[in-house]
């Protein structure tokens, strides 16, 4: 065991996985010995015993991360090629436009640093304008702004600046690539903006399709337990800014690379001290949603009542579970004490909000208010999304027929709801995949944008306000 990765005065337990230290033979040995502290790639207190179910999870987590490390460069190369091709087609008016421009010698070459260049996620839904029917002051304004900010966070810095300032007529504070102390490179992305209506928005980027580092954070099922708070997902904690051999000090040492939590906290304090009326919102899709809900947890650990008192709300989309039952209780008490909203949006059979498992092995739990939308984009407040752990035989047939309906809907929605809801060929391909693996296309930001525009009625928000604190399931 290495030196504890935390201050013992507040860190009660931990189990951090280090895939770079794992040799294949040693990884297999963990299946046959309950004393996981003997393994070089597991950082935990001496004598830590885990049952087979949890050791199996560690085994799978390490193998997944090792695979991602080995394939990171080819995966990134494939992603760059796919994005280039998609932007080449879009920039030349589609396939036939590209053929025409080729013969004319007028092919428009995409520039991956330009405002017109879309990420793979962005190519699934190229909408950039905010919902024109929603204005500041309306109950669903924060949710509608948050999903568009969460979607924009996948784009390059120039694109984000153009969307925020040219399309939304708001002010971009900055966009960032933050250091991950465990991956030893800048792998956490976020941006901060000011809506010019006294709201600061912090949007964390989710998992890019071809980003092995982000996928590694998702698959890293390390955990980290803090006195009075509970256990939290180690991969997400590392991405937010967990400091090696220190955990969560009040401030980072001046000589260290600044991580997301500390840099954002510093910037928020500066912005909010300059505007006494302003509040801030935290948002993100997928992994970004996980970072958004963990951020105030660490503020609470540090006793930062100033920032918590200025937090208007957390709005996440397709967010995975981030902690155990005790952590959920801690977060609900924090929400009640500082009176901010914590709303997670779940669309249909989206796979990600149903992971990691809420069961006796993994012990993960959701907290706060859940607004669930079915495939008709009808929203309602629920205590837990249906089929909460996803892999249920009972739900296989309903999920299959729902995926078939979503594929059919992709062809007709533009005629029913208008051209702004039209779906392109790439998203339809995802819908086909969804017939075979239900829940994959449901995770795309596209359906969450539609849900906030079509299914988020005032009645739903009135209901959510009445259930700000939900009993942890």
Q: Are 290 and 236 in contact (CB under 8 A)?
A: yes
Q: What was the pLDDT predicted at 472?
A: 36
DSSP state at residue 36:
G
Q: What was the pLDDT predicted at 117?
A: 98
3-state secondary structure at position 199: strand
Q: What was the pLDDT predicted at 471?
A: 35
- CA torsion sign for 50, 52, 57, 59 is positive
Tokens 């980027």, residue located: 205
Q: Which residues pair with 194 in a beta bridge?
A: 171, 200
Which entry of 443, 446, 447, 464 is annotated as an active-site residue? Answer: 443
- Backbone dihedral angles phi then psi of residue 17, each to the nearest 5 degrees: -95, 140
**pLDDT tens string 99-138:** 999 999 999 999 999 999 999 999 999 999 999 988 888 8
CA dihedral 433→59→324→219, nearest 10 degrees, is: -40
Q: What was the pLDDT predicted at 246?
A: 85
Q: What was the pLDDT predicted at 326?
A: 96
Q: How big is the chain, counted in residues?
A: 473
Q: Is 286 one of the catalytic residues?
A: yes
**pLDDT tens string 362-383:** 889 999 999 999 999 999 999 9
**pLDDT tens string 263-315:** 999 999 999 999 999 999 999 999 999 999 999 999 999 999 999 999 999 99
Q: What percent of the chain has pLDDT over 90?
A: 81
- In the chain, the N- to C-terminal Cα span, in Å, equals 34
Which entry of 213, 350, 358, 447 is annotated as an active-site residue? Answer: 350
Q: What was the pLDDT predicted at 47?
A: 85
**pLDDT tens string 216-258:** 999 999 998 988 899 999 999 999 999 988 889 999 988 889 9
Query: What average pLDDT does the structure give for the chain?
Result: 92
Q: Is 350 one of the catalytic residues?
A: yes
Helix axes 260-274, 287-301, angle to 10 degrees: 70
Using 50, 70 and 90 to split pLDDT, how confident is the model at 1? very low
Q: What percent of the chain has pLDDT over 70?
A: 95
Q: What was the pLDDT predicted at 336?
A: 95
Residue 409 corresponds to which tokens in the numbers above? 């809907």
Which entry of 153, 286, 341, 410 is annotated as an active-site residue? Answer: 286
**pLDDT tens string 432-465:** 999 998 889 999 999 999 999 999 876 776 666 6
């Amino acid at each position: 065991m290495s030196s504890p990765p935390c201050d013992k005065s507040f860190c009660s337990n931990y189990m951090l996985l280090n895939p770079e230290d794992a040799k294949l033979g040693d990884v297999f040995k963990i299946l046959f010995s309950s004393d996981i502290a003997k393994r070089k790639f597991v950082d935990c207190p001496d004598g830590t015993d885990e049952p087979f179910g949890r050791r199996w999870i560690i085994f799978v987590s390490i193998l997944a991360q090792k695979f991602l490390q080995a394939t990171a460069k080819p995966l990134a190369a494939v992603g760059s090629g796919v994005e280039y091709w998609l932007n080449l087609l879009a920039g030349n008016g589609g396939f036939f436009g590209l053929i025409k421009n080729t013969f004319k010698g007028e092919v428009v070459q995409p520039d991956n640093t330009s405002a017109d260049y879309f990420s793979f996620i962005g190519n699934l839904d190229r909408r950039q304008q905010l919902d024109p029917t929603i204005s500041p002051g309306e109950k669903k304004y924060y949710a509608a702004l948050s999903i568009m900010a969460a979607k924009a966070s996948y784009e390059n810095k120039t694109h984000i600046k153009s969307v925020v300032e040219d399309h939304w007529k708001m002010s971009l504070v900055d966009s960032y690539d933050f250091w991950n102390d465990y991956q030893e490179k800048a792998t956490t992305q976020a941006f901060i903006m000011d809506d010019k209506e006294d709201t600061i928005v912090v949007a964390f980027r989710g998992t890019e399709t071809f980003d092995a580092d982000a996928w590694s954070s998702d698959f890293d099922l390390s955990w980290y337990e803090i006195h009075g708070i509970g256990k939290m997902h180690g991969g997400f904690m590392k991405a937010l800014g967990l400091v090696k051999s220190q955990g969560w000090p009040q401030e980072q040492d001046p000589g260290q690379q600044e991580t997301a939590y500390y840099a954002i906290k510093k910037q928020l304090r500066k912005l909010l001290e300059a505007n006494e009326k302003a509040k801030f919102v935290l948002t993100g899709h997928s992994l970004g949603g996980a970072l958004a809900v963990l951020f105030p947890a660490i503020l609470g650990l540090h006793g930062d009542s100033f920032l918590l008192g200025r937090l208007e709300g957390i709005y996440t989309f397709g967010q995975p579970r981030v902690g155990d039952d005790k952590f959920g209780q801690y977060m609900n008490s924090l929400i009640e004490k500082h009176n901010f909203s914590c709303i997670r949006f779940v669309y249909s059979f989206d796979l990600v909000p149903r992971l990691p498992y809420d069961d006796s092995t993994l012990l993960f739990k959701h907290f706060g208010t859940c607004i669930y939308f079915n495939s008709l984009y009808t929203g309602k407040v629920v205590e837990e999304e249906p089929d909460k752990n996803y892999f249920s035989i009972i739900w296989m047939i309903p999920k299959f027929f729902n995926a078939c309906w979503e594929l059919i809907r992709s062809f007709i929605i533009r005629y029913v709801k208008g051209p702004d809801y039209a779906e392109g060929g790439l998203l339809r391909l995802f819908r086909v995949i969804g017939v075979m693996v239900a829940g994959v296309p449901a995770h795309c930001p596209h359906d969450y944008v539609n849900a906030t525009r079509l299914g988020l009625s005032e009645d739903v928000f009135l209901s959510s306000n009445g259930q700000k604190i939900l009993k942890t399931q």
